[in-house]
Chain A
Amino acid sequence: MSAWAGSAHLKIRHGISYFMLGLAGLCALVVVGALFYILGYLMKNGGTSINLDFFTQLPKPVGETGGGMANAIVGSMKLLLLASLIGVPVGVIGGIYMAEFSGKISAFILQYTADLLNGVPSIVIGILAYTLVVLPMKHFSAIAGGFALGIMMIPITLRSTEEFLRGVPLALREGSMALGASKWRTIVSVVLPAAYRGILTAILLSLARVAGETAPLLFTALNNRYWSPGWNQPIASLPYMVWNYAISPYDDWHRQAWAAGLVLLAMVLLTNIVARVVLARGSNAMPR
């Protein structure tokens, strides 16, 4: 009797076990499905609205159909170039300090600060760029937008560069120093070459991250319906255009928002995949 009751109890327990584990599997399925849903939906809506004009034409005024976002694509590129001028050198060289020179305590403090800075909402970084660049210049500009994105790149590049450098085996460093090379010589001719794929990955990932940022551009780079020559004027960018066109009341603009969204997403995801799979796989210094 009691044995039978025991086995029934056990059956229930196993039933619960399978049910709950199945539920966990379902959660994973939903989350993974979300990415494919986003991808599929953008391909469906963006794919039908994308054409050659999108890449070569300027935006048309309200009411006229057609036109493209050539200026926004170039604008995004220019903003990213400016951002990397700040983010890459500061991030990579800072990362070298963290991995090669820092003591235990200074490393912890800097890592902690970098992680916190990384978590600061991007709109707040926008306020910083506004007060530091836009207010003194008295107008919105590509420089201000690039500055905001560059600030955002620094903690990301710095932390991942550090991790990739820490992945370089100690024996390589010791070998170089044993041959009489100084520390910086070792870093430049042994450590950095060994980790260059990793550093490239770090740069690409941080670029992909800031390429999609809209909030810090709202009141720094603003927008521009025409070409923006030089670096000193408001400039259009893909994420800003997605936002601007999506909240507009015009159907034709909505179509273009989908197209811009698809181009943006493709750029960001491709960069991510290239950085993580192709580059990181060939690296002999993978973090984690």
Chain B
Amino acid sequence: MATATTAGKSAGPRAAPRSFSARLMDGDQVAHLITFIFAASIMLITVLLVIVLWNHSVLPRNKFGLSFFTGRVWDPVAEQFGALPFVYGTLVTSALSLIIGVPLGLGAAIFLAELAPPKISDGLTFIIELLAAVPSVIYGLLGIFVVVPFVRTGLAPWLIRHFGFLPIFKGPCYGVSFLAAGLVLAIMIVPFIVSVSREVLLAVPRDQREAALALGSTRWESTWKVVVPFATTGILGSVFLAMARALGETMAVTMVVGNVTEIKTSLLAPGYSIAAVIANEFTEATGEIYLQALVELGLVLFLVTFVLNGLARLLILFTAQRGGTT
């Protein structure tokens, strides 16, 4: 009784005619609250991730500070942790995959959005989306038994013969290498570039194309000089998305990169990556600071991919809104 009157009072004179308890009886507020709690778990997990990664990497952060990222020596026995070889390997393999994957993906997206008839375009896009669903361990499997032998016996000798004077193609190649990892990653990120870029290109208003064609430009000129520039921000978004994926990829990279803690200029040399070292050493990490050093690498990976994905989403959203007038 008392609760009913206070509820009625607090609702104020301009409140809805139904009291709080009446709406509660309907169940709408309850449903609202319960579903909200489930949806908010997304925020909870994200916050939890940050707290866990931060709290479990205190020791190496206090001991090494920023030299964690500039040190070249990774010696768990001497408790010396410098992550530069892993950072270097991650950057090199990701950059390589983007150099190969972006032109390939953009080309395919242009074909699907501008040239192919809608039915064929939809069919091919479906196949390319299936490519994104292939588990990364399968890419690693093919990497070990197809890409690595191909690099060792075919690609690397050819590169050394013709471009051996360049420092990036120097030295012997045993197959497992930055190059092999870059190739495998390139195939893995292409589906992301294609599906996002295609949608962004399709969102470019039709008048833009027609205006370019009416001014006498060829099909390619209208595509390259009008449609693609119009969609640049969105395409950039797809590239960031792909980059985040390449940076965080674990299984495929660890299977073909060689897992050697060295910094070599040559792309034909074996190396290591951040995700790969976590995968390989986490279960064997003895000693608190060793484990925490690996968690700190995880924290780095988390922050970098978080920022990249955040930027990518904003860019894609921005383009979608600009092109969404049609």
Are B305 and A27 in touch, CB under 8 angstroms? no
Q: Is B255's CB within 8 Å of the partner chain A?
A: yes
Least CB distance, A164 to chain B, in whole angstroms: 15
Residues in chain B near residue A96, CB distance under 8 A = 35
Knowing A13-B218, A110-B43, A120-B302, say if A214 contacts B137 (CB, 8 Å): yes
Tell me the bound Cα distance from A116 to B309 in angstroms: 6
Give the residues from 74 to 131 in chain A that come closer than 8 angstroms, CB to CB, to chain B.
Answer: 89-90, 93-98, 100-102, 109-110, 112-117, 119-124, 126-128, 130-131
Task: Tell me which of B34, B124, B278 has the highest count of chain A C-beta atoms within 10 A of its own C-beta.
Answer: B278
Chain B's closest residue to A23 (CB) is B107
Tell me the bound Cα distance from A117 to B313 in angstroms: 12
Residues in chain A near residue B107, CB distance under 8 A = 23-24, 26-28
Least CB distance, B251 to chain A, in whole angstroms: 5
Tell me the bound Cα distance from A14 to B220 in angstroms: 8
Are B224 and A20 in touch, CB under 8 angstroms? yes
Are A154 and B35 in touch, CB under 8 angstroms? no
Q: Which of B49, B130, B218, B309 contacts A269 (CB 8 A)?
A: B130
Q: Which of B41, B43, B134, B308 contacts A265 (CB 8 A)?
A: B134
Q: Which of A32, A132, A218, A264 contacts B282 (CB 8 A)?
A: A218
Q: Which of B35, B128, B244 contacts A31 (CB 8 A)?
A: B128
Tell me the bound Cα distance from A257 to B144 in angstroms: 11
Q: Is B326's CB within 8 Å of the partner chain A?
A: no
Are A257 and B141 in touch, CB under 8 angstroms? yes
Q: Of the listed stretches B65-73, B110-118, B157-165, name the one at the interface; the rest are far from the partner chain.
A: B110-118
Give the residues from 247 to 304 in chain B that come closer than 8 angstroms, CB to CB, to chain A.
Answer: 247-251, 255, 275, 278-279, 282-283, 295, 298, 301-302
Knowing A94-B39, A119-B305, say if A21 contacts B219 (CB, 8 Å): yes
Knowing A24-B107, A212-B137, A243-B137, say if A121 contacts B218 (CB, 8 Å): no
Task: Tell me which of B48, B135, B136, B191 has the highest count of chain A C-beta atoms within 10 A of its own C-beta.
Answer: B135
Q: Which of A154, A158, A211, A218 contacts B279 (CB 8 A)?
A: A218
Are A90 and B41 in touch, CB under 8 angstroms? yes
Are A93 and B127 in touch, CB under 8 angstroms? no
Q: Which of B127, B138, B220 contacts A32 (CB 8 A)?
A: B127
Least CB distance, A213 to chain B, in whole angstroms: 7
Are B111 and A268 in touch, CB under 8 angstroms? no
Are A268 and B35 in touch, CB under 8 angstroms? no
The contact string, 1 if C-beta is below 8 Å from chain A, for chain B 43-58, is 1011011001100100
Are A34 and B309 in touch, CB under 8 angstroms? no
Chain A's closest residue to B57 (CB) is A127
Q: Is A190's CB within 8 Å of the partner chain B?
A: no
Knowing A31-B131, A242-B141, A265-B135, say if A154 contacts B313 (CB, 8 Å): no
Tell me the bound Cα distance from A28 to B110 in angstroms: 9
Q: Is A286's CB within 8 Å of the partner chain B?
A: no
Q: Is B229's CB within 8 Å of the partner chain A?
A: no
Q: Which residues of A contact B (CB under 8 A)?
A: 13-14, 16-18, 20-21, 23-28, 30-32, 34-35, 38, 41-42, 45, 89-90, 93-98, 100-102, 109-110, 112-117, 119-124, 126-128, 130-132, 151, 154-155, 158, 182-185, 187, 208-209, 211-215, 218-219, 222, 239, 242-243, 246-247, 254, 257-258, 261, 264-265, 268-269, 272-273, 276
A-B contact pairs, 8 of them (CB 8 A): A17-B221, A28-B111, A117-B42, A120-B306, A127-B282, A187-B31, A215-B251, A218-B282
